[in-house]
Every structure is written in structure tokens, then in C-alpha cells.
């Protein structure tokens, strides 16, 4: 996956052994800029989120700003209306110097405003409690029951997507001593005695000479910025990576495993695009409910902001993310040609049948591709510095066409080949399906777009997702909504077409023409060759395991995630005869702007269990329980901000700004993850009951391998494994 693959990629020059370092202006400037970016994001979100700006109270800010004098007594209930009853407003005015906007003179307003900050602070304090996370499954202590009651009181009755953002706590900076101790514990099972002793010496030297200084800078940043690590993670792991996005960073998601609602390609595209735009509409109106962990603890929703209208723009040394407030078209690729398809008319969003009509017009268009146009998108699969240089020329020669693609809501690829599970050869067909989504033909995906919707000729769907803007659960949530909506709510007619009637008055899709000079022709050819070489080096296998799944594991009173992790450790040991550094991704969205943390799944307890499975004389069940419990404790610690790798990563970044050489941090960030694992949560939204429609289970998705000899596995409800190496 991109996280494990790219985390070792940042290597600036080092010039000092750093025994004594003065305060560094570059580090202070970077910390200042991190905080400045945080505050800019908060300000840019203010008007978009004005209905939730004062959550947990349901204050309506426009009414306050437009009201010269409000009568009635202020309510002190955090879940009640601000006034009881409020005076109707005949003509609210915008904030200006007009005398009517002297709302601060309003006698009832001031007491209420003075209560807003304490309410937010209390809510943030409540959400900082993580005792519930550490309790055994099914048990709830008295403090947790009290905490849950208070959370419900302060949460209000009508929550919106961003309702909790102001109340989320900031991600804490762990103790550097605890982090180093946990790191040494994690590598003990895979290092020889000699290597472990040497690593311990480096760790102690780091704690003695450098740790306190680096930790001080991180503490300073944590006080000033929204999150002490997330912006650096986005920049150095993703945007500064110079590798191809294809395989190395982007990931994919699959359609229903056993069902294709319609074999009509244009119809499936029409319903899917309409469903995606319905999701965007709900997103813009904050009608998507915030995700609640275990039904009670809200997760950060910041990553939802860039799902649509977003493109990763290549740059020399560093890319940047371009996000538009709105876009009313999608870019479409078919048989080497690019089209611009409008998604709205004067009356609003086009119907699924109208969108189907537009896609069918593209499929029926016999015009050929222009020279090198067919392979143009291979440039987005090239190394980023190469693509940045070519894009500068392309922007001059074909600015309108490039803007139509990069400014689209998202990218749509109408593939000419079928895909999906076939009864004749299920294993090979699923492998080919995964490979088509991961890399395609190297030139039929615009890998820079936030996501590409892929519609195969037999109506099968898929998604290729750029990773820098958000993590898998966000795009997974959108994808669940899309599949459920286009199949169960929009539906299809008996002949497989979208419901409704075509609209002959719609203009034809706009063909995009690229004026490509000869020097770009050569760049396209080289990019295509590199993309084919890269995709050709990937082996991919999809293995659905249907003997049992999550429900059975839960009945055994076990964590399904921990169960699968132990199975992977056993399988890897039996295959390779040794243990390896194992990466499992989990989320830190309990905190404001949190992203991910690493769970180091190859523990001493897991190794003891695996060895016992190879020795018939040893007791296995007790060791298995211990291994599962250890994994659960690591997972919960990571989720609550007490993980190892993000803290070490942030310490390493500070050391690079200081030009401070740390042999310990160098060693940590030169390690290769041989086994990288992840799971995307399914059934995040319950638009249909999967138990009543068992054939409509999604087959999940996957990433490229993290190293030349590594593999990636993704587990789902019925346990579907994706292995790339």
C-alpha cells in the first residue's frame, strides 16, 4: 500500500551529529506554516459549515448576523433552540457596517455567546476520554456509562457531517520513551540477539542525545497546528513521492462479486454517475451522517471534503492537491478519445436515463483518436517529475482540454473489455479484474484524479482511487452508497436500461482535442513503456474464502481482524519459514484531522502461537487467545494516539529540518515492510440488508505491493484476500 511503500522515501541530506543544536528557524517556520494552513482550512470551512460552527449548540449564525435586536430569553440547553421563542426575521442582512447589524448590542445574545466556548470545550473534553476503547467487548464500566450519557446530552438531536469537528480533540504526542520502548518490543521477534542489542544501543543513544529536542518541537507543533503529524504525512509520504501513482500509490475497489445489475454499459454508467452526484449533493449539504465508532464516538470528517472536484497536480519535487468548490461535468475516456459530459441542465442534475443517453452517444461515436491521444493518460502513470515537466508543455498546447479533465467532478473510463467473476474460470477472471482496476492498460486511467469510475463493456464497475486526499474508509463509504443507490433505489428497467426517458434536446458530448507537439509524442511513448513494464512486474491473486466469515468469528468471542492477522502470520511463516515486519493500517480519526497509524502485528505472542501450531506437543488455544489479546491492545493503543510509527515519522521529519543525524531514526525509516495488510470496513451505511441479499456482497479492493518481495492482503466480511507481489 502507499503508506508502507512511501514511508521510507523522504531522504534529505544530513550534515550534523546533533549533540547540541540551537533553536532552528527552518523548523519553527515549518511549524508556523503548519498552523497557518490549519487556520486557513478552518476559515475556508467557516461559511460552508456555518450551520454547525457552534456545535453542540444548534445556533443559526445567519439569523444572528442579520438580526438587529432579538427578543426572548436565551436557552442554556446545548441541544435546544437558542431562543424560546425567537422573533421572526423579516429581512436578515449580511454582516456589514449597517446600523442594523449592531447585533452585539443585543442584550440576550451576549450571555449565549459566552456559553458557546465552554460548551465546545466540555464536548472536546468528553471526546478525549478513551476508557471505553480499552474495556472488554460487551462490558461497560460506570465511568463509561456516565461518559456515554454526557456525550448524548451534548451531541444534540440533529447532527450533520461536520457537526463534531470543533469538538474533536487534537491528536496527542506520545511519550518518546514509551514510543522507543514499544518499537524495541515490536522488532524483538524478527531480529537476532546481536542485531537487537545493537538497535537497543542506538535507541538509548537517541533518547540521551536527541529525543528531548525533537519532542519539544513536536509538542510545540501540536499546540499550534490541528494535528502534529497529518499534514507532514500527506506531504512527505504522498505529495513528495516521485514514484508513479499507478501501483505504488493508487488503490482500487470492486463491484458486487456475484451480481451485475445490468449488462448494458451505458446504463450502468448512467446510474453510477447519477448516484455519485447524489452523494456529492448530500455531501455539500452535510446530509451524510458523521461516522460513529460503536455507535457513540464520532470520527473526524475532514477527509470527505476532497472526494469530488479534486486533482493531484504534478510538480517538480512536490505535487499539490487542487480542489474546486464545484464542477458540473465529468471527463470520459473511450477508445483513446476524451469527452466532456455535462451533468446538469437548467432544471438540475441530469436523470440517469439522460446520462445513459450521453454515454451511449460516446460508445456509438466512430471517430478515431488523434495521434498519440490514445496513450496520453500514460503520462499520469509516469514518475512525477517527468509528468510535471511534460504537463508544463501540455498546458500551453492544450490548455482547454487539460482543464476539462482536471476540472471535472471525476474521471470516467468506458472500457472496451469485459471484467468480473466468471463461472468458467473464477480464479483467473478475478485476478484479471483486479489487475484491470489496479493498472488497466497503463493509458486508460487518469491517475491524478481523486477517483476514476471504470465501467467495463459487460456493465461491471470498479474504482481507481488516488490516495493522497483521503484513506480507504472515506472512498469506501462513497462506494457503498453508490452501489446500493444505483442498484436498489434507482434500479433498471426490464431490458436493462435506466428508468425514465431519454432527452433528445441534450447537446452531444463535447469531444476534447489535444494539440500535441512532437516532443510530447516521445514522452508519451516512454511513459507508456514504463507503465506497461511496471504493471507487468505485478503478480495479483484474489482469493475469496467462503467457509466462514466475520459472523462465525464473532460467535467465538474473537476480534475478526485479530483472527485474520494471526492466520496471516501463520500462513507467512509456513510459506517463508520466518517472521517479518508486518504493517497493518488502522485509523486515528478519533482526533481532529487524524488519518492512519500502523499496528505492528508480528508480536512475540503471535510468534509463540505460530510456533505452537507447528509443534503438536504444545498447547495452542491459550497461546492463540494471548496473541489475539495482544493484537487488540496494540490496535486500541494506535487508535487512541499511542502508536509507534507516526510518532517516529514526525520525529524523523523534525530531525531532517534540523539537519540532525540520528542513526536510530535512520534505521527505523530504512526498514522494509515485507507484509502489509489492511481492511476496508464494509456496511458502513445500511441502505440494504446484506443478509437478505447475500449475492450483493462487495468483493472489496486492494493496493499494489509495498516491496519487490512483499505482498498485500485485504480482508472483508466473508474474508476475501487480495495478494499482490
Residues carrying an active site annotation: 467
Residue among 472, 2, 10 at smallest CA distance from 245 = 2
- Reading the block at residue 170, the C-alpha cell is 487534537
Residue among 634, 631, 587, 583 at smallest CA distance from 609 = 631
C-alpha gyration radius of the chain = 27
Max CA separation in the chain (angstroms): 87
**Residue 311 CB coordination number (10 Å):** 25
Task: Please answer whether residues 316 and 385 qualify as being in contact, where contact means their C-beta atoms are separated by less than 8 angstroms.
Answer: yes
Between CA 625 and CA 622 the distance in angstroms is 5
Task: Please answer whether residues 69 and 92 qualify as being in contact, where contact means their C-beta atoms are separated by less than 8 angstroms.
Answer: no
Beta-bridge partner residues of 718: none
First to last CA, the chain: 11
Between CA 411 and CA 446 the distance in angstroms is 7
Residue 597: helix, strand or coil by DSSP? strand
Task: Please answer whether residues 122 and 153 qualify as being in contact, where contact means their C-beta atoms are separated by less than 8 angstroms.
Answer: no
In terms of DSSP H, where are the helices of 210-264? 211-224, 230-232
Beta-bridge partner residues of 139: none
Between CA 329 and CA 405 the distance in angstroms is 9
Q: Cell 517516529 maps to which residue?
A: 648
**What one-character DSSP code corresponds to residue 498?**
B
Task: Please answer whether residues 53 and 88 qualify as being in contact, where contact means their C-beta atoms are separated by less than 8 angstroms.
Answer: no
**What one-character DSSP code corresponds to residue 99?**
G
Strand bridging mode 451-455 / 411-414: parallel
Between CA 120 and CA 56 the distance in angstroms is 7
Residue 583: helix, strand or coil by DSSP? strand
Q: Cell 481492511 maps to which residue?
A: 679
Amino acid at each position: 500500500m502507499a503508506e508502507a511503500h512511501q514511508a521510507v522515501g523522504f531522504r534529505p541530506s544530513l550534515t550534523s551529529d546533533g549533540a547540541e543544536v540551537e533553536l532552528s528557524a527552518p523548523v519553527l517556520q515549518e511549524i508556523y506554516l503548519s498552523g497557518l494552513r490549519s487556520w486557513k482550512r478552518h476559515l475556508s470551512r467557516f461559511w460552508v459549515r456555518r450551520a454547525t460552527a457552534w456545535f453542540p449548540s444548534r445556533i443559526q449564525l445567519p439569523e444572528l448576523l442579520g438580526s438587529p435586536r432579538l427578543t426572548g430569553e436565551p436557552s442554556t440547553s446545548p441541544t435546544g433552540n437558542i431562543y424560546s421563542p425567537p422573533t421572526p426575521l423579516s429581512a436578515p442582512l449580511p454582516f456589514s457596517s449597517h446600523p442594523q447589524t449592531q447585533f452585539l448590542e443585543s442584550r440576550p445574545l451576549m450571555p449565549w455567546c459566552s456559553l458557546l466556548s465552554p460548551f465546545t470545550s466540555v464536548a472536546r473534553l468528553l471526546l478525549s476520554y478513551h476508557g471505553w476503547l480499552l474495556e472488554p467487548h460487551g462490558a461497560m464500566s460506570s465511568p463509561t456509562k456516565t461518559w456515554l450519557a454526557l456525550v448524548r446530552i451534548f451531541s444534540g438531536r440533529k447532527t450533520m457531517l461536520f457537526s463534531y469537528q470543533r469538538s474533536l480533540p487534537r491528536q496527542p504526542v506520545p511519550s518518546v520513551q514509551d514510543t522507543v520502548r514499544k518499537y524495541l518490543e515490536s522488532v524483538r521477534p524478527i531480529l537476532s540477539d546481536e542485531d537487537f542489542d545493537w538497535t537497543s544501543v542506538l535507541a538509548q543513544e537517541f533518547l540521551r542525545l536527541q529525543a528531548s529536542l525533537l519532542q519539544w518541537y513536536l509538542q510545540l507543533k501540536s499546540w499550534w497546528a490541528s494535528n502534529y503529524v497529518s499534514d507532514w504525512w500527506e506531504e512527505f509520504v504522498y505529495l513528495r513521492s516521485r514514484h508513479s501513482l499507478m501501483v505504488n500509490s493508487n488503490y482500487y475497489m470492486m463491484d458486487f462479486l456475484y451480481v451485475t445489475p445490468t449488462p448494458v454499459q451505458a446504463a450502468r454508467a448512467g446510474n453510477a454517475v447519477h448516484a455519485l452526484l447524489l452523494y456529492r449533493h448530500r455531501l455539500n449539504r452535510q446530509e451524510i451522517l458523521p461516522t460513529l465508532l460503536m455507535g457513540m464516538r464520532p470520527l473526524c470528517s475532514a477527509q470527505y471534503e476532497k472526494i469530488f472536484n479534486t486533482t493531484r497536480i504534478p510538480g517538480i519535487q512536490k505535487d499539490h492537491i487542487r480542489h474546486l468548490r464545484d464542477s458540473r461535468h465529468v471527463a470520459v475516456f473511450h477508445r483513446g478519445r476524451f469527452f466532456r459530459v455535462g451533468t446538469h441542465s437548467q432544471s438540475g442534475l441530469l436523470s440517469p436515463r439522460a446520462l445513459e443517453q450521453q454515454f451511449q452517444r460516446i460508445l456509438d461515436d466512430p471517430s478515431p483518436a488523434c495521434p498519440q491521444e490514445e496513450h496520453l493518460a500514460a503520462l499520469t502513470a509516469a514518475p512525477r517529475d517527468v509528468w510535471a515537466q511534460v504537463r508544463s508543455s501540455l498546458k500551453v498546447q492544450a490548455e482547454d482540454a487539460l482543464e476539462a479533465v482536471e476540472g471535472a467532478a471525476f474521471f470516467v473510463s468506458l472500457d472496451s473489455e469485459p471484467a468480473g467473476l466468471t463461472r468458467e474460470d473464477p480464479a483467473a477472471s478475478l485476478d484479471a479484474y483486479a489487475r484491470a482496476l489496479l493498472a488497466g492498460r497503463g493509458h486508460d486511467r487518469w491517475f491524478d484524479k481523486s477517483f476514476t469510475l471504470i465501467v467495463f463493456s459487460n456493465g461491471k464497475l470498479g474504482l481507481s482511487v488516488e490516495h493522497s486526499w483521503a484513506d480507504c474508509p472515506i472512498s469506501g463509504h462513497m462506494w457503498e452508497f453508490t452501489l446500493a443507490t444505483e442498484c436498489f433505489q434507482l434500479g433498471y428497467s426490464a431490458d436493462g436500461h435506466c428508468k425514465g426517458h431519454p432527452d433528445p434536446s441534450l447537446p452531444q458530448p463535447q469531444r476534447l482535442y489535444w494539440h500535441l507537439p512532437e516532443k510530447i509524442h516521445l514522452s508519451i511513448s516512454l511513459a507508456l513503456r514504463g507503465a506497461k513494464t511496471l504493471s507487468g512486474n505485478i503478480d495479483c491473486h484474489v482469493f475469496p474464502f467462503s467457509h466462514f466469515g466475520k459472523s462465525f468469528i464473532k460467535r467465538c468471542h474473537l476480534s475478526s481482524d485479530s483472527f485474520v492477522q494471526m492466520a496471516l502470520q501463520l500462513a507467512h511463516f509456513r510459506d517463508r519459514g520466518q517472521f517479518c515486519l508486518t504493517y497493518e493500517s488502522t485509523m486515528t480519526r478519533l482526533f481532529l484531522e487524524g488519518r492512519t497509524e500502523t499496528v505492528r502485528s508480528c508480536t512475540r505472542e503471535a510468534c509463540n502461537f505460530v510456533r505452537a501450531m507447528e509443534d503438536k506437543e504444545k498447547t495452542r488455544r491459550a497461546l492463540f487467545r494471548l496473541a489475539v489479546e495482544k493484537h487488540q491492545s496494540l490496535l486500541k493503543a494506535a487508535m487512541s494516539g499511542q502508536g509507534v510509527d507516526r510518532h517516529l515519522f514526525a520525529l524523523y521529519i523534525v530531525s531532517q529540518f534540523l539537519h540532525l543525524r540520528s542513526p536510530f531514526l535512520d534505521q527505523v525509516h530504512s526498514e522494509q515492510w515485507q507484509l502489509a495488510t489492511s481492511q476496508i470496513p464494509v456496511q458502513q451505511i445500511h441502505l440494504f440488508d446484506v443478509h437478505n441479499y447475500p449475492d450483493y456482497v462487495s468483493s472489496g479492493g486492494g493496493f499494489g505491493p509495498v516491496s519487490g518481495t512483499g505482498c498485500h492482503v485485504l480482508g472483508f466480511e466473508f474474508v476475501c484476500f487480495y495478494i499482490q507481489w
